[in-house]
C-alpha cells in the first residue's frame, strides 16, 4: 500500500510539493485508513452479533474512510490537493477489501447496504489472519509472508508500469 501511495505522490507534482520533508503523517494516515475496515473487531465488543467482513468491509464505507483520510490530511496540510488525496484515501481502504476478498474465509460484504452477499474468490491468494486465535503465531506469520509477497509483486508491477510510462513521455517529448 505504501508503495502505491508513494508512486501517486511522486507522479502528482502538487502533492509532491506539499509533502516534501513532512510526509510521515500522510503515510501514517494511509496505513491507518488501510486498517480501518477491521474496526469491526472493536464494534464486536459492543454488539456481539456483528461479524467480521460485514458493513465495514463495503466499498461505500471505503469511500467514507477515504473521505475521512482526506479531511484529516487537509487539516494537517492546508494546501493539499483534494482529488489526489481522496484517491489515495479510497485506494487505501479498498486495498484492504480486495485483499480480504482473495483470502480464505467467508468473504466480505462489498456491496453493503445494497446487498448482504459476501464476495470471495474461488482461489484464495492469502491464508488470512485468524483473529479468533490470537496466539497462533505460525498462522499469522504465514499471513504476513503471503501479504508481503503480494505487496512486493504489486510494487514491481507498478514500478514497471510507471517506468514504461515515463520512458514513453520522454520519447514523445524528444521527438517534438
Per domain, the residue ranges of the chain are 2-129
The burial of 166, by beta-carbon neighbours within 10 Å (0-12 exposed, 13-18 middle, 19 or more buried), is given as exposed
Query: Which stretches of the chain are DSSP H helices?
Result: 2-11, 13-19, 24-35, 40-46, 59-76, 82-101, 137-175
Average model confidence (pLDDT) for the chain? 80
Q: What is the mean predicted confidence (pLDDT) over 133-150?
A: 69
Of the pLDDT bands very low, low, confident and very high (cuts 50, 70, 90), residue 70 is: very high
Measure the CA–CA gap between 91 and 56, rounded to whole angstroms.
15
Q: Which range, of 44-48, 103-107, 124-128, 163-167, averages the lowest pLDDT?
A: 163-167
Q: Spell out a b/e string for 44-72, using b for 16 or more CB atoms within 10 Å of the CB, else e.
A: eeeeeeebbbbbbbbbebbeebbebbbeb
Ranges 60-64, 127-131, 157-161, most confident: 60-64
Q: What is the mean predicted confidence (pLDDT) over 106-124?
A: 90
Q: Which range, of 19-23, 41-45, 72-76, averages the lowest pLDDT?
A: 19-23
Locus of grid cell 501517486: 8
Paired with 103 in beta bridges are: 126
The SS3 assignment for 108 reads strand
Amino acid at each position: 500500500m505504501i508503495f502505491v501511495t508513494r508512486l501517486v505522490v511522486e507522479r502528482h507534482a502538487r502533492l509532491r510539493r506539499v509533502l516534501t520533508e513532512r510526509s510521515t503523517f500522510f503515510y501514517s494516515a494511509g496505513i491507518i485508513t488501510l486498517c480501518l475496515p477491521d474496526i469491526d473487531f472493536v464494534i464486536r465488543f459492543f454488539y456481539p452479533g456483528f461479524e467480521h467482513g460485514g458493513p465495514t468491509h463495503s466499498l461505500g464505507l471505503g469511500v467514507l474512510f477515504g473521505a475521512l483520510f482526506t479531511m484529516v490530511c487537509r487539516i494537517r496540510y492546508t494546501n493539499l490537493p483534494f482529488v489526489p488525496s481522496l484517491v489515495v484515501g479510497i485506494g487505501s481502504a479498498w486495498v484492504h477489501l480486495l485483499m480480504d476478498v482473495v483470502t480464505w474465509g467467508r468473504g466480505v460484504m462489498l456491496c453493503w447496504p445494497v446487498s448482504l452477499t459476501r464476495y470471495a474468490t474461488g482461489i484464495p491468494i492469502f491464508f488470512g489472519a485468524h483473529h479468533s486465535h490470537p496466539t497462533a503465531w505460525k498462522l499469522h506469520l504465514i499471513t504476513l509472508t503471503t501479504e508481503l509477497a503480494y505487496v512486493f509483486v504489486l510494487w514491481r508491477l507498478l514500478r514497471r508500469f510507471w517506468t514504461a510510462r515515463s520512458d514513453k513521455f520522454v520519447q514523445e517529448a524528444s521527438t517534438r
